[in-house]
Amino acid sequence: MAGAGEICVEVAYAAADRQAVKMLSLPVGSHVEAAIRASGLLELFPEIDLTVNRVGVFGERVELDTELRDGERVEIYRPLLADPKQARQKRARAKNRKARRAR
């Protein structure tokens, strides 16, 4: 529980093979980047690059200088391995080919 002048936040990251969630008490007015750095996740997951990885609060993308409020959850997102639009198109083409063969 955070004391006077402090906020309590979570910082979460999920790699392909493991995940970590850290609870922190930070001074009121702290930003997303400060929470991430204080969490120790950058040391646990050296693949995190804050110039590349996007971040969010409760699933909404935010910038590193976004001020946090008590109870918020900071999430560090991994880069996408495939473009979602291209992946959907590829699945649709495969489904169409399969349907044509079934006729």
pTM of the full structure = 0.76
Distance CA 9, CA 7 (A): 6
pLDDT in tens, 42-85: 999 999 999 999 999 999 999 999 999 999 999 999 986 666 67
Domains (ranges, CATH) in the chain?
6-102 (3.10.20.30)
Burial track 70-97 (b if 16+ CB lie within 10 A, e otherwise) = eebbbbbeeeeeeeeeeeeeeeeeeeee
Distance CA 7, CA 59 (A): 19
Q: What is the largest CA-CA distance in the chain?
A: 70
pLDDT in tens, 75-103: 999 986 666 677 777 788 888 877 777 77
